[in-house]
Structure formats: structure tokens, C-alpha cells
Amino acid sequence: MKKVAVGVETLSMSSDFFSKNSFEKFDLPLNLNIDLEDLEQRYFKAQHHYHPDRLRTSNISSENTITDYAAAFNEAYQILKDPLKRADHLLKCLGWLVSDETLGSKQDPHLLTFMMELNEKIEGAITEEEKKQLESFLENEIHHSWQALENSIDKQDKDMALTCFMKLKYLHRLHLNLK
Amino acid sequence: MLLQLVEPGQTPLPHAQEESFAVGIDLGTTHSLLAFAAEENVPQLIPLQGERLIPSAVYYTEAGSPIVGKNALSMLSQDPDNVVRSIKRFMHHASQRHILRKLSLTPVEISSHILAYLKTQAERQLGHPIHKAVITVPAYFDEAARTATRDAGRLAGLEVLRLVNEPTAAALAYGLEKKAQGIYAVYDFGGGTFDLSLLKLQGEVFQVLATRGDMNLGGDDIDHAIYQNHFQEKGLSLDLKQALFIIRLLKEKLTDEEEASLTLENQAYTLTRQQLETLTLPFIDRTLEHCQKALKDANIQKESIKGVILVGGMTRMPLIKRAVETFFGKKPLDDINPDEVVAYGAALQARALTQGSNNLLLDVTPLSLGLETLGGVVEKIIERNSPLPVSKIQEFTTHEEGQTAMLLHIVQGERELVQDCRSLARFELHGIPPLPAGIARIQVQFTVDVDGLLTVTAKEKTTGISQYIEIKPSYGLSECDLLEMISTSLTHGHQDLEARLLIEAKVEAERIQKVTLDALEKDQELLEENEKILILSLLRNLEADLHSADRTTIQQTTEKLAAATHPFAVKRMTYHLNEALKGRDVTTL
């Protein structure tokens, strides 16, 4: 297993910590793709320092403060380990996505039609065979949209990135419905 | 038979050790256990009065004193109305009062009597005062039931270091004792509750990935089903509580036998394994549905599960073992006793929290938490399976011109509508500056700590007015009541303890006296003359001792009588081949 030297700061952490984004909290670069195993190790390391169970046998500050830190790391971990939440967070960190409404105003009529048709197909799928076919189609689409999102972020193409992200959100929901 | 007890407090330990002395308690629906880890990674069960599993039963004497354990169970035959069993099932209906004698008791108080008994007995056994404990709760226990459990601990004079989820405790015991690593499923089917937790064990980290369960799905439900199907219509003279107890005994015998029967007061009761299994199947299906859902929640395939850990008395049933094996496709682990494994985990965590440890338990909240919004719809603030501690802030605004107060209704559950969720608390935020609708910004912060307990704070941002509330489900005991009860119990603690020990000694003596007299009446021809003389003389001594208030003498004579009647019990059992309670002697029923 990969052992990572983790730059989790000591308890002298200032309150600045709480204004950091989830990537910064784990000392990670702003990136769409991350190494999940590495993230997990950083997360465990952070919890080793800040989990309230640790407080009982050490002499550090108050439990409330510790709980705040542990909760902040938990939240950041929940965001980063989930691809969609991570993408959403990244777009917000970049300042491209302000709120979820921003996304709504970017409705692409072609995309909407495509998704509605796909949804009808999913609702109409009865046999296992049909479902399997749709599932692999969806997974393929998700894969491609993810790559497109990656490219558009690299190229600083804000509009394209938002369109890809919205498509991904739809695809994920359809994928869930199918299951 | 009866264990020699160590007198407490002979060599007081230094203060530092005092601070670090903490036990683990599995406060179960059917049984409760207490364990202690004197050394790292070596938890030991502390048998109390010679018993490893203490029945979670309480009998209230005429004077209103609680008697806990097998002595309480033995009163089922004479006075079932004043015996309480399975109180854990009421922990989330903590305002429901139970009338026993002249007392009106909450489940918190009744549970505290069980805990107090465990505490005092363990203190005698370990020769050391106990002030701190880790208490386990079902993973699927809601906020109300958790708070109730913590309060029961406080009421019993215990500082509750942590509430640890039972499946997590079990995984901790397996992880440390058996060096388990990888993804494990813990299938915990007990007397009152069912939990399924998926954990990742990696190095020193025990990470809960998902948990599912039912607070009202346990062996007790199967007992009730058996009662309704095979006992009720026979118009038997049994009290429901007695019948359920007999059913439990029969059910336990069926673990190894195809048919079980039991004769009590010339009435025979039988149950076949076939009958039991038919009635159990629907319950097993419900547990497997939870397994399926948990796998989906954690997005894990069955194949990636390295082992399945069995916890709880119900998992002794061969049918359940087979069903779990079929579902997960691997033979489940039960090499640590499923009845005891949770207590071991609790003891390990108690030690870790007082002495330090490199192990880390990362648990999750089992149920979503939210607020009521317009139209009775729930706005979820914290999603279930969020790692603990968790803290979330949500902003709300006023919807009327000049609105100065706002009602917050906090609910727990997965459903969309408030009416389908559990209502935890309502509180009002006052002093919002009168502003046009939609201008005030009210921040509501939900924090769930590592015990799974919720705190809610609200703050109006434009003025900084803030209100703080710790969620206290309304179970009829306010924080004030509780503090008063704690201080009363501390003041009268010693008196109460002596009085209770004397009552317990007397109840035990009278019980053995009665059992012996009954046995003599029925079967005295089985005795040799010298045996009979000995028993009769001990009976006379005991009768005399009972009039004194000397606990030690009563106990000693009781022990002598119990020892003297033991061969008699064995003879009677051999004689009555159909005597049902094989392996138990007459003194245990």
C-alpha cells in the first residue's frame, strides 16, 4: 500500500483553516482527478490528529474545537471522494459556478432533448438485456463526459465545462434510476 | 456454584489509575454484560455473581427496590406483574411510564437500575470503584434512544465516555483479537434490534462505510409470533410474560435439538424446530433486505466482503447462519462468542479512551436529520451515513414582513414528509429584527458528535442574535429532573446500596427456600436420610437468619443450602426424564 507523507498541520492551525476549500484542507492541488487511496490516507491521518476520541488522552484545547476540525475534515473527505461532488466543488473554487441556479440558466436545448429521450428509454426498459445495454451505454457516456470536462477545465473553457458538468449530473441521476 | 466475592476497596489505587479505570457495558435487550480490559487488547468479561450474561430483567419489591438479573427473572413465576424485561425496546419511547408497585418509572430509570446493578456488582468483583464506562447501543438507535441510554448511565452514577455502536464494537474486538483486515459485514441480530454495518478495517482504522437496521426487529418479535401462533389459542393459564419466557427457553433448546419441551406445573409446552423456522423466515427476509440496502449505500459488491461477523443471540439459530451464509456467499465468523463480542469491543474502547490507543473508530450517523419547511416537507441537513462528527450549516429566511420569531422543528428519518419522520424537538428563535420578508438571514447549525448526539444552534446573521439548544427529546425528564435525581442517588447511594444488597440476599434466600420446600414435598423419597437431615437443618437455619438483618449470614446460609441441594437437584432431574430444563438445576428457575 502506498504510504504518503501528509502535510496535515499541527494543532496551532489558525481559524483560516475553516475558510479553506476541501482541496486545501488536505493540502491537495485543485484537480478534477485525484488519487482516492492517497486521499484516504490523508483523511485517516487527519482524523488520527483531530478525532474527538484522541482528545481524551491528550491535553489539547476543548472538545468543541476538536469536533469542528474533525467535522471539517469529514466534510471535505465526503466532497472529494465523490466524483460529482468533487467536480461541483472544483467548479465553485474556480469561480465558474456560483450557485446551482447558474447551472439551470445554462440549459442547452439539445442536451435536454437527449436526456428526455434517454429517460424514456430507461423507463421503457423491461428485460434484463435491455437494462444491461442501457447501463453500459450510460457508463460509456459518463466516461466520455468526464474526459470532456477534464479537457475543458485544462483549456479554461468555462462554458464547455459547465455544459459537461450538467450532462454528468443528468447521466448520474439516470444511472441511479436504472439501478 | 456461587462465586466468592472480593471485598471492594481494600487497597486504594493511586489517583492516576483511578482516572483511567473504565469498563465496557453491553446493555442488551435480553442480557447485559460488563467487560474490562486490564491490559491493552485483552478484554475480559467480568462474571457478576457467577453469571457471564446478566438477564436484563428488573423485579420491583414491595418496598419498590429494584432486583436485577436472574433473581428478577425467577420472580416471573410468582409475580410477573412486577417484573420488567426488554426495557431497551422502550428507550425511544422514553416518556412512556411503567407502573410497578407504587412507582411510575421511565425506561431511563429502569435501565439505570440495571446499570447500577452491573456497576456495584463489578465493583465488588474487581475490588475497585467504577465511575466511567463505554455503553453500547444499536447502530440504528435514534437520537432519543441514544440520549435516553446516556442519561440512564448518568443516573446510575457513571460518566458515559462514549456511546459506541454495537456492530462497530464487535468489529473492533475482531479487528484487534483476530487481526482482521479488509471489508467486513457485521450482522447483528439481537433480542430487540437488528443492525447491519459494513466496515473497512485498515491498519489501525475502523471505518464504518454504511449502516442499516431496525430498532424494532429482534428475537422478541419472533417470541411474540410463536406466542400468537402456538400458545395463545390454547387458552393457557400463563401470563404473557411467563409465556414469552418459556418460549425463549424452548427456542434456545432448539439450537441443538429438533423438538423442545418443557413441563411446568404439570403442563407440558412443546415447540418444534419446524414451527420455529416457519415463523422466523419472514424476519430473516427483513434482515436480508437491510443487508442489500447497506451494500447499495456503500456501493460495495458482495464479493469484495472479506468476512461476515455474527453478533447477537439470534445468530445462534442454524437457520439464520445458513441464510447469512447463502446471502453473502461465505461462512460467517462466530469464533468470538456472539453474545459477548460487543462487550469486549466496549471494554477495548473504554481502555482506549482512558489510556490512549492508536486505534481509530470512524463511525457514521444512521439516520438523516432535517428541518420542517413549508408544507410539512423535510429539508435534510445531514444525510445518513455521514461520518461523525458532522457539522452542517443551513441558511433560512423569514417569509413575512416584520417577522420576529421563527419556529424550528427538527426531525430524524428518511421520509420526505415531516409526519413520517421522528420529531425530535421544536424550538423558537426570537429576536429576529423586523425586516421585510426574505431579508433576515438565519443560520442553523446542526452538529452530531461522535456519540451520535445532536446539537442545534441558530443565529440571525444581520444582528448576531444567537440561540443554542441541545436536543433533548421530550421523554418527561428534563435536564433539571435528571440532575436532581443524580444528586439524590449520590446522597443516598450508600444507604440504598446496603438496603438493596440486603433485599437481594433475602429474595435469593426465600427463592431457594421455596424451591427446596417444593422439591421436598414432591420428591423427598429420592433423598438419603442423612441428606434430608442436612437440608432440613439448613432450612431451619435460613428461616432464623431471615429474621435478622445480617446480609452476610443470610448469604452464607443460602450458599450452604444451595450447595447441599445441588445433588438433590441432579437426582430429580435424572428421575424426571421429561423435566425440561436440562443442564440447569432447580435453583435457577
- The pLDDT of residue B589 is 42
CB within 8 A of B237, min separation 6: which ones? B267
Are B389 and A70 an interchain contact pair (Cβ–Cβ within 8 Å)?
A: yes
Check residue A135 and give its pLDDT: 87
Angle at B209 between CA B207 and CA B215, to 5 degrees: 110
Does position B7 have pLDDT exceeding 50, yes or no?
no
**Which range, A23-37, A165-179, B443-457, B508-522, has the best average confidence (pLDDT)?**
A23-37
Question: CB–CB of A30/A94 below 8 Å?
Answer: yes
Rounded-to-5 percentages of helix, strand, coil across chain A: 70, 0, 30
Q: Tell the residue number behind the cell numbers 440512564, with chain if given.
A: B152
B564, B540 Cβ separation under 8 angstroms: no
Asked if B43 contacts B173 with a C-beta cutoff of 8 angstroms, the reply is yes
Cβ count within 10 A of residue B141: 26
pLDDT higher than threshold 70 for residue A175: yes
**Which residues from chain B sit within 8 angstroms of residue A72, using beta carbons?**
391
In percent, the amount of chain B with pLDDT more than 90 equals 42
A–B: how many Cβ contacts below 8 A? 57
pLDDT recorded at residue A142: 93
If you write DSSP's letter for every residue of B170-191 in order, what string do you get?
HHHHHHHHS---EEEEEEEE-S
Q: Does A99 touch chain B (CB under 8 A)?
A: no
User: Chain A contacts of B40, Cβ < 8 Å?
Assistant: none
ipTM of model = 0.82
DSSP class of residue B24 equals E
- Chain A interface, best mutation among B293, B360, B383, B470, by max A CB count within 10 A: B360
So what's the pLDDT on residue B74? 86
* Mean pLDDT across chain B: 84
Does position B4 have pLDDT exceeding 60, yes or no? no
A51 at interface of B, judged by CB pairs closer than 8 A:
yes
What's the pTM? 0.80
Q: Which of B231-235, B300-304, B547-551 has the lowest mean pLDDT?
A: B231-235
Nearest residue to A174 (alpha-carbon basis) of A127, A129, A124: A124
Catalytic residues of B: 26, 88, 166, 188
Q: Is residue A14 less than 8 Å (CB to CB) from chain B?
A: no
Whether residue B83 is predicted with pLDDT greater than 70 in this model: the reply is yes
Average pLDDT over chain A reads: 82
CB spacing of A48 vs B360 below 8 angstroms = yes
Give the least confident one: A6-15, A73-82, B533-542, B567-576. A6-15
Separation between Cα atoms, residue A103 and residue B552, nearest integer Å: 79
Determine which of A1, A19, A41, A74 to mutate to test the interface with B (most B C-beta atoms within 10 Å): A74
d(CA B355, CA B360): 14
Does the beta-carbon distance from A74 to B389 stay under 8 Å? yes
Shortest distance, CA B300 to any CA of chain A (angstroms): 14
DSSP symbol at B333: B
Give the rounded percent of residues in chain B with a pLDDT score beyond 70: 86
A74 touching B (Cβ < 8 Å): yes
Between B450 and A11, the higher pLDDT residue: B450
Residue B23 pairs in a beta bridge with: B133
Show the beta-strand stretches assigned E in B190-326: 194-202, 205-214, 259-264, 267-272, 307-311
The C-alpha atoms of residue B497 and residue B489 are separated, in whole angstroms, by 10
Element (H, E) at A174: helix A158-178
Task: Enumerate residues 6+ apart whose C-beta is below 8 A from B442.
Answer: B395, B396, B397, B398, B406, B429, B432, B458, B459, B460, B461
Per-residue model confidence (pLDDT) at position B495: 58
Q: Which of A38-47, A96-105, B352-361 has the highest mean pLDDT?
A: A38-47
Of B315, B262, B247, the closest CA to residue B583 belongs to B262
Q: If you average pLDDT over each of A113-117, B144-148, B468-472, which comes out highest?
A: B144-148
Q: Which residue has the higher pLDDT, B388 or B235?
A: B388
Q: Which of A4-8, A79-83, B144-148 has the lowest mean pLDDT?
A: A4-8
Q: Which of B27-31, B257-261, B563-567 has the highest mean pLDDT?
A: B27-31
Q: Do A51 and B362 touch (CB under 8 A)?
A: yes
pLDDT of residue A10 exceeding 60, the answer is no
Starting at the edge strand found earlier in the chain, the sheet holding B194-202 runs B307-311, B182-189, B194-202, B205-214, B360-362
Distance from CA of B4 to the nearest CA of A (A): 35
Q: Mind listing the pLDDT tens digit for each residue in A73-85?
A: 999 999 999 999 9
Distance from CA of A141 to the nearest CA of B (A): 20
Helix (H) or strand (E) holding B68: strand B66-68
Of residues B202, B360, B392, nearest to A51 (C-beta): B360
Measure CA of the first residue to CA of the last residue in chain B; give whole Å.
14
Q: How confident is the model at residue B239 (pLDDT cuts 50, 70, 90)?
A: confident
| Residue A45 near chain B (CB below 8 Å) | no
What is the grid cell recorded at B515? Answer: 424451591
Task: Place B481 in a pLDDT band, splitting at 50, 70 and 90.
Answer: low
How large is the average pLDDT for residues B66-91? 90
Please name the amino acid found at residue B524: Q
Place of cell 433475602: B506
| Residue A125 clears pLDDT 90, i.e. is over it | no
| Chain B contact present for A56, CB below 8 A | yes
Quick one: cell of B179? Answer: 487481526
pLDDT at B347 over 80: yes
Buried b (16+ CB within 10 A) or exposed e, B14-45: eeeeeebbbbbbbbbbbbbbbbbbeeeeebeb
Over residues B556-581, the mean pLDDT reads: 72
Exposure b/e, A152-174, CB count within 10 A at least 16 = b: bbeeeeeeebbbbbbbbbbbeeb
> DSSP characters for A80-107?
HHSHHHHHHHHHHHTTS--SHHHHHTT-
Which ranges of B356-477 does DSSP label H, i.e. alpha helix? none
Does the pLDDT at position A4 exceed 50?
no
The mean pLDDT value for B532-552 works out to 86
Residues 6+ apart with CB under 8 A from B116: B66, B155, B156, B157
Q: How far is CA A114 from the centre of its chain?
A: 25
pLDDT digits 0-9 by tens, A63-118: 567 788 999 999 999 999 999 999 999 999 998 888 766 666 566 778 778 888 88
Average pLDDT over residues B405-416: 84
Inter-chain touch B386–A74, beta carbons under 8 Å:
yes
> In the structure, how many helices (H) and strands (E) does chain B have?
14, 26
| Separation between Cα atoms, residue B139 and residue B128, nearest integer Å | 31
pLDDT of residue B213 exceeding 50, the answer is yes
- Quick: pLDDT tens for B177-200: 888 889 999 999 999 999 999 999
Among all residues of chain A, which has the CA nearest to that of B391?
A: A71
pLDDT at B585: 46
Residue B531: what pLDDT? 86
A85 touches chain B (CB under 8 A): no
Residue B579 has pLDDT above 50, yes or no: no
CA separation for the pair B304, B329 (Å, rounded): 11
- Give mean pLDDT, residues B489-516: 70
Whether the per-residue pLDDT at B515 is higher than 90: the answer is no
Task: Return the percent helix, strand and coil in chain B, to nearest 5.
Answer: 45, 25, 30
Q: Which three cell numbers stand for residue B226?
A: 410463536
CB B139 within 8 A of CB B294: no
- The conformation of residue B3, written as its DSSP 8-state character, comes to P
Q: What span, in angstroms and rounded, lies between the C-alpha atoms of B272 and B277?
A: 9
Contact B249, B76 (CB under 8 A): no
Average pLDDT (B62-68) is 90
